[in-house]
Amino acid sequence: MNIDNQHFRTIWPDPTNNESIMIIDQRQLPHKFVIETLCTLDDAVIAIRDMHVRGAGLIGATAGFGMHLAAVQAQTGQLADALKQGAESLDKSRPTARNLKWAVDRVLKAAENGKNDDEKKEIVFETACAIADEDAAFCKALGQHGLQIIEDLSKAKNGETVNILTHCNAGWLAFVDYGSATAPIYAARDAGIDIHVWVDETRPWNQGAKLTAWELQQEGIPCTLITDNAGGHLMQQKMVDMVIVGTDRTTHTGDVANKIGTYLKALAAHDNNIPFYVALPSSTFDWEIDRGSDIPIEERSGDEVTAISGLAEDGSLQTVQLTAPETRALNYSFDITPARLVSGLITERGIVAADRKSIHQMFPEK
Ligand code: MRU
């Protein structure tokens, strides 16, 4: 993705020294574009936990590189322990995104193939890089599959603007590149299709307002920010042609965990006969959990609800209190959209119905 015409991924090894990892500190966007260096396993854990990086794919890539940092720091003869401890700390950093454990397990398994610690360290780094490269490649590929849906809608509207609603940020910033929900949008733009995106602000962290709107603007995609509660009304007014969201974890039976509020959008889309698609690289599938209700839902601090942050007049980023000081707040970060409300899952292999049989047919090796 381009920022001021320069291509960036969201995470990359320091080119002068593969022993540290560079990220974009997303807490400061869209006001400040700050590149942060992660030097230790703890840096990676904090970056995930405190949302310097966020979004399923990027959390997975950061976890992969976090394992690399654990290996870099390991004392002679202590690599196995360092990787075990790295896996435990990373696994606990955020509970819902499936890509986190998937990446950690993939690194651990790959490391077993090394004949000695030096070789294992090399494999850990190569695997972390492969996870990041694959994430970008899968998002690009799923964008081409999702393009078909937008093309069909455009044809049905005789080339009039296709209005797409999205929730939270399943964009470039949530992955290594392209994004999941945004990849079909970028592909449609490249194909010359007239599109416009409704961006849910996505309280309380405001990923839509702060990240998706900025990201789409950087890419020159027409978009309009809306309050989280506006979607149903826009759908009733026929101002939405389709919904595309991302997901933090999707069961192999088709239930979708995504940012809190997604379920309400799916209900409104269903009631208004509007297609509701979920875009994901296959690393987000959970092949063990059968029911969405068994997915762990992260509960974050109520402070994210009672306070709000933004750019002050003096140019500094500030957090201000929104509510009366003693107000209690409950802050579930994700909800579950049942498979029956999902029109299809857009994956790197193609579009698949959100049911166990279809998903397993598309991924028979699982
Ligand atoms: O809490 P976050 O920002 O890490 O949540 C992740 C998300 O941005 C969304 O849930 C997104 O739609 C899916 S992640 C690709």
pLDDT digit string (tens) for 298-309?
999 999 999 999
User: Which residues of the chain fall below pLDDT 50?
Assistant: none
Q: How far apart are CA 49 and CA 82, in angstroms?
A: 20
Q: Judge if the beta carbon of residue 207 lies within 6 A of ligand 1.
A: yes
- pLDDT digits 0-9 by tens, 274-297: 999 999 999 999 999 999 999 999
Predicted pLDDT of residue 1: 82
Instruction: Tell me how far the alpha carbon of residue 332 lies from the centroid of ligand 1, in angstroms.
Output: 13
Instruction: Tell me how far the alpha carbon of residue 92 lies from the centroid of ligand 1, in angstroms.
Output: 17
Q: Judge if the beta carbon of residue 248 lies within 6 A of ligand 1.
A: yes
Question: To test ligand 1's pocket by mutation, which of 11, 49, 168 has the most ligand atoms within 8 angstroms of CB?
Answer: 168
Residue 335: active-site member: no
Q: Judge if the beta carbon of residue 333 lies within 6 A of ligand 1.
A: yes
Predicted pLDDT of residue 17: 86
From the list 353, 350, 348, 303, the residue with the least C-alpha distance to 138 is 348
**Rg of the chain over all Cα atoms, to the nearest angstrom:** 20
**φ, ψ for residue 246 (rounded to 5)?**
-95, -165
DSSP 24-65: E-GGGTTT---EEEE-SHHHHHHHHHTTSS-SHHHHHHHHHH
Task: Find the DSSP H helices in the chain.
Answer: 41-49, 56-73, 79-93, 98-111, 117-156, 182-190, 207, 213-218, 231-236, 262-271, 303-306, 356-362
Instruction: Tell me how far the alpha carbon of residue 162 lies from the centroid of ligand 1, in angstroms.
Output: 24
Q: Judge if the beta carbon of residue 210 lies within 6 A of ligand 1.
A: no
Instruction: Tell me how far the alpha carbon of residue 207 lies from the centroid of ligand 1, in angstroms.
Output: 8
Question: To test ligand 1's pocket by mutation, which of 54, 167, 243, 256 has the most ligand atoms within 8 angstroms of CB?
Answer: 54
What residue owns the CA closest to ligand 1's atom 5? 55
Q: Judge if the beta carbon of residue 261 lies within 6 A of ligand 1.
A: no
Instruction: Tell me how far the alpha carbon of residue 51 lies from the centroid of ligand 1, in angstroms.
Output: 10
Q: Which residues contact 290 (CB under 8 A, 6 or more apart)?
A: 251, 252, 253
Q: How far apart are CA 77 and CA 117, in angstroms?
A: 7
- Where exactly are the structural domains of the chain? 2-134, 143-362
Predicted pLDDT of residue 4: 82
The whole-angstrom distance between residue 345's C-alpha and the CA centroid of its chain comes to 15
In this structure, are residues 63 and 36 in contact, taking their beta carbons and an 8 Å threshold? no
Q: Judge if the beta carbon of residue 284 lies within 6 A of ligand 1.
A: no
Q: Judge if the beta carbon of residue 245 lies within 6 A of ligand 1.
A: yes
Q: Judge if the beta carbon of residue 259 lies within 6 A of ligand 1.
A: yes
Q: How far apart are CA 39 and CA 34, in angstroms?
A: 16
Q: Judge if the beta carbon of residue 58 lies within 6 A of ligand 1.
A: no
DSSP 175-202: SSSS-SSHHHHHHHHHTT--EEEEEE--
Q: Which residues contact 321 (CB under 8 A, 6 or more apart)?
A: 306, 307
Closest-lying ligand 1 atom to the alpha carbon of residue 334: 10
The reply to whether domains 2-134 and 143-362 share a CATH topology is no
Predicted pLDDT of residue 331: 98
The CATH-assigned architecture of domain 2-134 is: Up-down Bundle (1.20)
Instruction: Tell me how far the alpha carbon of residue 302 lies from the centroid of ligand 1, in angstroms.
Output: 18
Q: Report the topology of domain 143-362.
A: Rossmann fold (3.40.50)
